[in-house]
Structure 1
């Protein structure tokens, strides 16, 4: 088998300015990676390299240069890719997690016939759905209230609110409105602060949030403050999920050290940010060994990346709603059999 590789850019256009505590984005430039065997060029696998500004290690000016270098190494047979082996060290992908994810998933796709079927499980066969949270984006109060009402109409039993950009009192009022509509027995509510809370204010804010019986809060303080985060996790009235904290932690010993020191209640895995599916599987194993909960989340990829993450997730016994509902954000997403029905992600055949 002699594999070839190509890539092409694609700029995804948001249907609205997607706001987080780090600012608003209206478009997302991604690269689609294609891998095929020269003997059967009509069969090819696709992957997606979709780094996020402000988060991804590989959101940098020389990304396209790196893609070109990888393609040249593969196409000139200087480095051999294989569908049934790990990515070669010679490609130098240690600092390129989104590119690792793209190559990993393209090879899986090719190995399984190149039709977007990466794994054989009930989800990929269209026999079962994956419960997901309905994402409520930051915005003014009316915009967020409108999203909340629509998500409830759409049948979601778990909502996730981005917080940290509005006045905190206003955000508490939104949570109060949600709880007036549905109590914790009917509706699970998660919040994501994206590191917006100053460490000295975080515990008091968590105490106020606890009134609304939240499932969890993602990354209440900025990553890279392990002492402060460990203290919060030890005494928090709201379970804490690490998200950005996992970015750039590659070696197994470093992963174990982080989990042992901070002892979070949950971890959240974005393959684009943590280095692909194999890296995510390693985090999951370590979390489960320590009886920490976890869930998978897409990182604003197109349907190509979302399809891969969802099929990977379905290999596990799913006990919590996953963060896999971002496919509807774009005007120009890639056509896909993925559908959302009553708060679950399904894959048509």
Structure 2
């Protein structure tokens, strides 16, 4: 089989100014990679969408790199099983380009399964079981955040994740206190994501104040790279800590194990686009299991092409905690897809068709 390769850039526009502690987002670029078997009339599609100022492959020459590595896949025997795909991509695309690894894994898995955007055959992709997700509250002024909270509660979410660290901490606590005054921790699970906004010195006190509100966990309370400080925070067990940015750029099973052994977090957050695709994510899950560390999977603001792949991958595991997979509704010009969010869950609706790319 001889494959043909091409790519296409798509700029996604946010419905609102999406605030984080690293700044606000109004748009983002995605690159779709297409691997086509013209003889069979089958095409696999993947997505490379590095996050600005966060992904290690956020670089100006990304389109040229996609073209360079895409050509490596056109004159090789096409893998006949998923394991071969993971090995092929890992030996072709360097770990310094994690979003490209994710994109080519996705395109090849799609191709392997007939080019129908069904990458993994499981209860989710066959529309037999949804995945529970958290409702995401973006940073902004107090009214904007409160409006989002009310909308998520009205929509039936029972797990809410709020980004903190951009506005006054007292106002953020007030919003969380409002939710907790109406709903117990058994009714509504509250997660917060600081994106490294706290200093190591102030973190313990802020974690204590958050813990008083029965917060489930906090993602990345201090900036990545402070292993001793982060490890100390985790060992104090003030509030369960989930590593996020801390995992970026760590490749190889040994290095992953060393990091988690050094910090011993309660949870890790897994974003395949940032971590190097599905093979790398599987390694993180295996290492976390050895150490008794929990995890959940989160999209990284991909379009529905990438989000669909991550959802189907997630459903390969016995999911118990709500996952971070509710980002498909953020854009005014996302690709139409069978993905639907209802009552705090994401579904694959087989009656809905994929839109054109």
TM, length-normalised to structure 1: 0.97
Contact 1:81 1:88 in 2 (8 A): no
Change over 3 Å in CA distance of 1:145–1:319 after alignment to 2: same
Q: CA deviation at 1:249?
A: 0.3
Q: CA deviation at 1:88?
A: 4.8
Contact 1:80 1:88 in 2 (8 A): no
Distance 1:124 1:93 in 2: 30
Q: CA deviation at 1:307?
A: 0.4
TM, length-normalised to structure 2: 0.95
Distance 1:92 1:305 in 2: 18
- 1:10 corresponds in structure 2 to 10
- 2:79 corresponds in structure 1 to 82
How many residue pairs are counted as aligned between the two chains?
346
- 1:43 corresponds in structure 2 to 42
- Once the two structures are superposed, residues 44-97 of structure 1 have per-residue CA deviations (whole angstroms, 9 ceiling, x without a partner) of 11110000001111110111110121233334x3x6553532225663422100
- Once the two structures are superposed, residues 247-279 of structure 1 have per-residue CA deviations (whole angstroms, 9 ceiling, x without a partner) of 000011100000101000000000000000111
- Pairwise mapping of residues 215-234 of structure 1 onto structure 2 (< 5 A)? 215-234=216-235
Q: CA deviation at 1:16?
A: 0.5
Give 5+ residue unaligned stretches, structure 2.
Answer: 351-357
- 1:208 corresponds in structure 2 to 209
* 2:339 pairs with 1:342: no
- Once the two structures are superposed, residues 113-144 of structure 1 have per-residue CA deviations (whole angstroms, 9 ceiling, x without a partner) of 10110111111100111000000000000000
Distance 2:213 2:58 in 1: 36
What secondary structure sits across from 2:201 in the alignment? Answer: helix
Distance 1:71 1:221 in 2: 37
Q: CA RMSD in A?
A: 1.2
- Pairwise mapping of residues 113-262 of structure 1 onto structure 2 (< 5 A)? 113-262=114-263
- 2:55 corresponds in structure 1 to 56
- 1:28 corresponds in structure 2 to 28
Contact 1:133 1:343 in 2 (8 A): yes
Distance 1:137 1:288 in 2: 31
Distance 1:206 1:90 in 2: 42
Distance 1:315 1:235 in 2: 33
- Pairwise mapping of residues 292-311 of structure 1 onto structure 2 (< 5 A)? 292-311=293-312
Change over 3 Å in CA distance of 1:83–1:329 after alignment to 2: farther
- Once the two structures are superposed, residues 280-304 of structure 1 have per-residue CA deviations (whole angstroms, 9 ceiling, x without a partner) of 0110111112111100000000000
- 2:314 corresponds in structure 1 to 313
Distance 2:196 2:55 in 1: 15
